[in-house]
């Protein structure tokens, strides 16, 4: 059995205040594979006391000391990356190749980019006759989601450490096992006692205790918009900084003249790579009416080529969704698409043929979709792609913006200049032009109900820094 019920507090593994446990299931087999402790507010309070006591000394370290610490973390993490990938594959069903290349190596890149950012960042600079100083904000509460269990942690932890902050982390209770391995990596890196603390548990208990704790100075949360609202409300009484990376419903606009076949193939691969469980994945494809049927045909072929099945097979692209609850949620969206009159182009309800166990969803494509349907408006978080048509570019922009979310928009054009011209009109934190590749130094975050604040690079570092003006 994987996992452990102790929490990592003040440099040691300590027993929880109470004896509750949270079981972890392998979504490919539905078997219990491990367990973690079920934390309480008392555990959070102990972790916060540890982080608060460690803060003055760690905040006083210089850049070189913090860079050296992060580089030690990188070296140990890299050595253990394949073991970490194996655990992520088991706890959330990621195909093993993807689990290694993206889920395990991705966090390493966040740590590397934090080092690069910190090395070039000026913590003190003159401004209009005053001196402006950036200082670590204090004790940071990090609350993360299950879909990228270590990347989401690393994108926060790397920059909080770079800033000189101390941390209390609550990983998702759905995929918490890899976070325990990260704690082991941090311990082996000679992390100063109290700088990093981990308490497992559920959102209403541990998450709420972190968000509302008066000795936590800042909360960085990644998860659903609904949960993000609860975190912000819990934090409001103590007037702490709240950073939120929330939901998304990103459109992929395929402009007239673009390569429709390539756009469809790229859209399907990008969306299905993590079983559709990525907040900025292109989950609505918008195609000009004159190319619509062509796009449906290419998307159907791309979906039919997706190898679904055993996550331990290196050739598998699409594994299960993370849990029974998520499986039923995705099935509900597929049913709503059928009920609202969308055309089922590929996939459909229930498991793929021949699959009797596991939370596997058929790779599903819908046509004849309008932007008022549930499949076009809701964050499905599964391998389901609705494809919409538009009459002209103005309508494409209108449809792309017609969502409560604003995390990302993808634009495919015959030329980069054609696609780039739409960027100022799109209400999203990122616009991808003729690409679906990531950029780990560019700011990441959203407009509207996709959250506030930014992660990664200079903007991500500044989330963990306070601003002080010295006037002489």
* Residue 223: closest CA among 74, 87, 381, 364: 381
245 part of the active site: yes
3-state secondary structure 196-229: EEECCCCHHHHHHHHHHCCCCCEEEEECCHHHHH
Q: Are 464 and 135 in contact (CB under 8 A)?
A: no
Q: In sequence order, which residues have a C-beta less than 8 Å from that of residue 64 and are 6 or more positions away? A: none
Give the active site residue among 140, 165, 173, 279. Answer: 279
SS3 190: coil
Sign of CA dihedral 125, 128, 129, 132: negative
H or E element at residue 37: strand 32-37
* Residue 267: closest CA among 412, 370, 157: 412
Q: Are 454 and 460 in contact (CB under 8 A)?
A: yes
Residue with tokens 């890899």: 178
Q: Give the span between the Cα atoms of 88 and 67, in whole angstroms.
A: 27
SS3 79: helix
- What is the four-CA torsion angle of 405, 170, 276, 77, rounded to 10 degrees? 120
* Phi, psi at 269, each rounded to 5°: -65, -40
Give the active site residue among 173, 245, 462, 463. Answer: 245
Active site residues per annotation: 245, 279
């Amino acid at each position: 059995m994987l996992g452990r019920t102790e929490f990592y507090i003040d440099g040691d593994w300590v027993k929880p205040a109470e004896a509750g446990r949270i079981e972890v299931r392998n979504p490919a087999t539905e078997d219990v594979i491990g367990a973690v402790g079920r934390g309480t507010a008392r555990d959070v309070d102990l972790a916060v006391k540890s982080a608060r006591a460690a803060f003055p000394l760690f905040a006083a370290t210089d850049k070189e000391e913090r860079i050296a610490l992060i580089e030690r973390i990188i070296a140990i993490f890299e050595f253990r990356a394949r073991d970490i990938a194996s655990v992520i594959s088991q706890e959330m069903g990621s195909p093993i190749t993807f689990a290694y290349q993206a889920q395990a190596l991705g966090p390493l890149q966040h740590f590397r980019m934090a080092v690069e950012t910190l090395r070039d960042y000026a913590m003190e600079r003159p401004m209009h006759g005053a001196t402006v100083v950036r200082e670590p904000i204090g004790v940071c509460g990090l609350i993360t989601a299950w879909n990228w269990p270590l990347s989401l942690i690393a994108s926060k932890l790397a920059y909080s450490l770079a800033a000189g902050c101390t941390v209390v982390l609550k990983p998702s209770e759905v995929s918490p096992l890899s976070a325990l391995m990260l704690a082991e990596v941090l311990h082996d890196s000679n992390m100063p006692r109290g700088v990093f603390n981990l308490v497992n548990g559920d959102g209403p208990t541990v998450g709420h205790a972190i968000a509302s704790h008066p000795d936590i100075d800042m909360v960085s949360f990644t998860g659903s918009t609904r949960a993000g609202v609860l975190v912000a409300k819990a934090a409001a009484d103590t007037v702490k900084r709240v950073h939120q990376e929330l939901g998304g419903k990103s459109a992929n606009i395929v402009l007239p003249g673009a390569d429709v076949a390539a756009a469809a193939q790229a859209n399907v691969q990008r969306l299905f790579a993590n079983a559709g469980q990525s907040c900025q994945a292109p989950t609505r494809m918008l195609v000009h009416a004159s190319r619509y049927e062509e796009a449906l045909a290419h998307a159907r072929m791309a979906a039919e080529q997706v190898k679904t099945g055993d996550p331990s097979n290196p050739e598998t692209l699409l594994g299960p969704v993370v849990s029974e609850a998520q499986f039923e949620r995705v099935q509900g969206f597929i049913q709503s698409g059928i009920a609202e009159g969308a055309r089922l182009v590929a996939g459909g309800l229930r498991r793929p043929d021949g699959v009797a166990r596991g939370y596997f969803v058929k790779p599903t494509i819908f046509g004849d979709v309008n932007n008022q349907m549930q499949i076009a408006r809701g964050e499905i978080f599964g391998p389901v792609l609705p494809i919409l048509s538009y009459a002209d570019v103005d309508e494409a922009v209108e449809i792309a913006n017609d969502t409560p979310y604003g995390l990302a928009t993808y634009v495919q054009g015959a030329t980069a200049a054609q696609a780039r011209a739409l960027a100022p009109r799109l209400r999203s934190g990122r616009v991808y032009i003729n690409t679906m590749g990531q950029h780990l130094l560019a700011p990441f975050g959203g407009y509207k109900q996709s959250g506030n604040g930014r992660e990664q690079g200079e903007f991500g570092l500044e989330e963990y820094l306070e601003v002080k003006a010295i006037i002489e």
